[in-house]
Amino acid sequence: MAAAALKQMNVWEQKYHDITELFLLSDELLATVPASADPEAQLLLLESLIETIGESADVLTDEYIALCEGDIKRKSSTKSRVEGALRKVYVAMGDVTLRARDAKNAAHAVIKKIKRQLEHIVAHFMDFMVLSLDRIMQKNDVDDLKQRHANIALMLHQLGQGA
């Protein structure tokens, strides 16, 4: 029994590190500023996204720990807090992408990494609860998520079937 508990703890710890990876990706975004043609404009472009990622990562790590600990008192607010934190990052990424659409920008590659990392985080939280993906991301992001994560596609299909 102790070995199973230790194995589960290691799994939860790895998933926690997947969430904290957002902080490193935020730093990677910030590293694009001095290397850009116009560092001041790059900082203005990314400032809000970097701040949003940090705030959302704080919320997500806090909520993930509470879920792993089985904190019943927070259970009712966890879903809305997680969805809200994820939604804020998706909206901020969409804003940066829209504003820098025509420009070749190093931030685009980092935003792709962040998007992939968010997909893993969504999958981790879906192990604990059903998230309303349509409240978090746009349809094309949901479709991408389903393609890359078969377990999420299966869960969504089962929910659609009423299972």
The 10s digit of each residue's pLDDT in 102-143 is 677 889 999 999 999 999 899 889 888 888 888 898 888 888
Q: pTM, whole model, 2 decimals?
A: 0.86
DSSP string covering 22-38: HHHHHHHHHTHHHHSSS
Q: Token pair of 135, please? A: 């409240």
Residue 137 backbone phi and psi in degrees, to 5: -140, 170
Rounded-to-integer distance, Cα 134 and Cα 138, Å: 6
Which residue is associated with the tokens 């998007």?
Answer: 115
Evaluate if residue 96 carries a pLDDT over 50. Answer: yes
| 143/163 Cα distance (integer angstroms) | 21
